[in-house]
Structure 1
Amino acid sequence: MKLNMGTLDRRLRLFLAAPALILAGVLIGPGGVVSIVLYVLAGLMVATSLAGSCPLYTLLGIRSCPISSEHTPATSGRSSA
Protein backbone atom coordinates (compact mmCIF):
# COMPACT_ATOMS: atom_id res chain seq x y z
CA MET A 1 0.00 0.00 0.00
CA LYS A 2 1.50 3.30 -1.11
CA LEU A 3 1.30 6.36 1.09
CA ASN A 4 -0.75 9.07 -0.58
CA MET A 5 -1.57 11.37 2.33
CA GLY A 6 0.69 14.10 3.64
CA THR A 7 1.23 14.93 7.28
CA LEU A 8 -1.09 17.95 7.26
CA ASP A 9 -3.88 15.98 5.59
CA ARG A 10 -3.54 13.17 8.12
CA ARG A 11 -3.60 15.54 11.09
CA LEU A 12 -6.62 17.44 9.79
CA ARG A 13 -8.56 14.20 9.41
CA LEU A 14 -7.50 12.88 12.80
CA PHE A 15 -7.92 15.99 14.93
CA LEU A 16 -10.64 18.03 13.18
CA ALA A 17 -12.80 16.08 10.76
CA ALA A 18 -13.31 12.85 12.70
CA PRO A 19 -14.24 14.55 16.01
CA ALA A 20 -16.57 16.92 14.14
CA LEU A 21 -18.38 13.96 12.57
CA ILE A 22 -18.67 12.23 15.95
CA LEU A 23 -20.02 15.41 17.55
CA ALA A 24 -22.56 15.80 14.74
CA GLY A 25 -23.64 12.20 15.25
CA VAL A 26 -24.14 12.80 18.96
CA LEU A 27 -26.15 15.97 18.31
CA ILE A 28 -28.39 14.19 15.78
CA GLY A 29 -28.97 11.27 18.12
CA PRO A 30 -27.02 8.08 18.67
CA GLY A 31 -29.63 5.74 17.14
CA GLY A 32 -30.43 7.54 13.91
CA VAL A 33 -29.34 6.30 10.50
CA VAL A 34 -27.58 9.58 9.75
CA SER A 35 -25.61 9.43 12.99
CA ILE A 36 -24.50 5.86 12.25
CA VAL A 37 -23.29 6.99 8.81
CA LEU A 38 -21.39 9.86 10.46
CA TYR A 39 -19.78 7.45 12.95
CA VAL A 40 -18.70 5.14 10.12
CA LEU A 41 -17.23 8.08 8.18
CA ALA A 42 -15.37 9.22 11.30
CA GLY A 43 -13.98 5.70 11.77
CA LEU A 44 -12.84 5.59 8.15
CA MET A 45 -11.15 8.97 8.48
CA VAL A 46 -9.29 7.83 11.59
CA ALA A 47 -8.26 4.56 9.95
CA THR A 48 -7.01 6.21 6.75
CA SER A 49 -5.13 8.90 8.66
CA LEU A 50 -3.36 6.30 10.78
CA ALA A 51 -2.56 4.17 7.72
CA GLY A 52 -1.47 7.16 5.60
CA SER A 53 -3.32 5.89 2.56
CA CYS A 54 -6.78 6.79 1.31
CA PRO A 55 -8.46 4.45 -1.20
CA LEU A 56 -10.55 7.31 -2.59
CA TYR A 57 -7.38 9.33 -3.23
CA THR A 58 -6.00 6.35 -5.15
CA LEU A 59 -9.12 6.11 -7.32
CA LEU A 60 -9.11 9.84 -8.06
CA GLY A 61 -5.33 10.07 -8.52
CA ILE A 62 -4.90 12.56 -5.68
CA ARG A 63 -1.70 12.64 -3.66
CA SER A 64 -1.08 15.07 -0.79
CA CYS A 65 2.15 13.32 0.20
CA PRO A 66 5.33 14.83 -1.23
CA ILE A 67 7.25 12.54 -3.57
CA SER A 68 10.47 11.45 -1.91
CA SER A 69 13.71 10.85 -3.78
CA GLU A 70 13.66 7.17 -2.72
CA HIS A 71 10.71 6.42 -4.98
CA THR A 72 11.90 8.25 -8.08
CA PRO A 73 13.60 6.23 -10.79
CA ALA A 74 17.37 6.20 -10.62
CA THR A 75 19.34 7.91 -13.36
CA SER A 76 21.68 5.89 -15.53
CA GLY A 77 24.73 7.70 -14.18
CA ARG A 78 25.55 9.43 -17.46
CA SER A 79 25.85 13.17 -17.54
CA SER A 80 24.11 15.17 -20.22
CA ALA A 81 27.12 17.42 -20.89
Structure 2
Amino acid sequence: MGKNVGTIDRAVRIIAGVVLIALVFVGPQTPWGWIGIIPLATALIGWCPAYRLLGLNTCPMK
Protein backbone atom coordinates (compact mmCIF):
# COMPACT_ATOMS: atom_id res chain seq x y z
CA MET A 1 0.00 0.00 0.00
CA GLY A 2 2.13 2.87 -1.29
CA LYS A 3 1.33 6.54 -1.00
CA ASN A 4 -0.80 8.00 -3.77
CA VAL A 5 -1.73 11.42 -2.31
CA GLY A 6 0.62 14.34 -2.97
CA THR A 7 1.44 17.25 -0.67
CA ILE A 8 -0.96 19.81 -2.15
CA ASP A 9 -3.71 17.21 -2.25
CA ARG A 10 -3.00 16.33 1.39
CA ALA A 11 -3.21 19.98 2.46
CA VAL A 12 -6.55 20.42 0.70
CA ARG A 13 -7.89 17.25 2.30
CA ILE A 14 -6.78 18.34 5.79
CA ILE A 15 -8.45 21.74 5.38
CA ALA A 16 -11.64 20.20 3.98
CA GLY A 17 -11.76 17.60 6.74
CA VAL A 18 -11.28 20.12 9.53
CA VAL A 19 -13.92 22.44 8.05
CA LEU A 20 -16.44 19.60 7.74
CA ILE A 21 -15.81 18.40 11.28
CA ALA A 22 -16.12 21.99 12.54
CA LEU A 23 -19.62 22.09 11.04
CA VAL A 24 -20.67 19.53 13.63
CA PHE A 25 -19.95 22.00 16.42
CA VAL A 26 -20.71 25.37 14.78
CA GLY A 27 -22.93 26.41 11.90
CA PRO A 28 -25.78 24.08 11.01
CA GLN A 29 -24.62 21.50 13.60
CA THR A 30 -25.64 18.46 11.59
CA PRO A 31 -24.04 15.03 11.99
CA TRP A 32 -23.13 15.08 8.28
CA GLY A 33 -19.99 16.98 9.26
CA TRP A 34 -18.48 13.77 10.58
CA ILE A 35 -17.93 12.78 6.94
CA GLY A 36 -14.87 15.04 7.26
CA ILE A 37 -13.09 12.19 9.00
CA ILE A 38 -12.62 10.49 5.63
CA PRO A 39 -10.57 13.21 3.88
CA LEU A 40 -8.71 13.90 7.12
CA ALA A 41 -7.77 10.22 7.52
CA THR A 42 -6.71 9.80 3.89
CA ALA A 43 -4.54 12.93 4.18
CA LEU A 44 -2.85 11.70 7.35
CA ILE A 45 -2.27 8.21 5.93
CA GLY A 46 -1.27 9.48 2.47
CA TRP A 47 -3.25 6.81 0.69
CA CYS A 48 -6.70 7.09 -0.89
CA PRO A 49 -8.58 3.93 -1.89
CA ALA A 50 -10.69 5.86 -4.44
CA TYR A 51 -7.51 7.02 -6.19
CA ARG A 52 -6.37 3.43 -6.46
CA LEU A 53 -9.67 2.34 -7.99
CA LEU A 54 -9.53 5.19 -10.50
CA GLY A 55 -5.82 4.74 -11.21
CA LEU A 56 -4.88 8.24 -10.02
CA ASN A 57 -1.68 9.23 -8.24
CA THR A 58 -0.80 12.77 -7.14
CA CYS A 59 2.28 11.74 -5.19
CA PRO A 60 5.51 12.57 -7.06
CA MET A 61 7.40 9.62 -5.54
CA LYS A 62 7.11 6.18 -7.13
Structure 1: unaligned runs, 5 residues or longer: 30-34, 69-81
1:51, distance to aligned residue in structure 2 (A): 0.6
Aligned length: 61
**Alignment root-mean-square deviation, CA:** 1.6
State the match for 2:40 in structure 1. 46
Report if aligned partners of 2:16, 2:36 keep a CA contact under 8 Å in 1: yes
Residues of 2 paired with 1:11 and 1:47: CA distance?
12
Normalization by structure 2: what TM-score? 0.79
Normalization by structure 1: what TM-score? 0.63
Identical positions, percent: 38
State the match for 1:71 in structure 2. none
State the match for 1:62 in structure 2. 56
Residues of 2 paired with 1:59 and 1:50: CA distance?
19
1:59, distance to aligned residue in structure 2 (A): 0.9
State the match for 2:27 in structure 1. 27
4+ aligned runs moved over 6 Å, structure 1: none
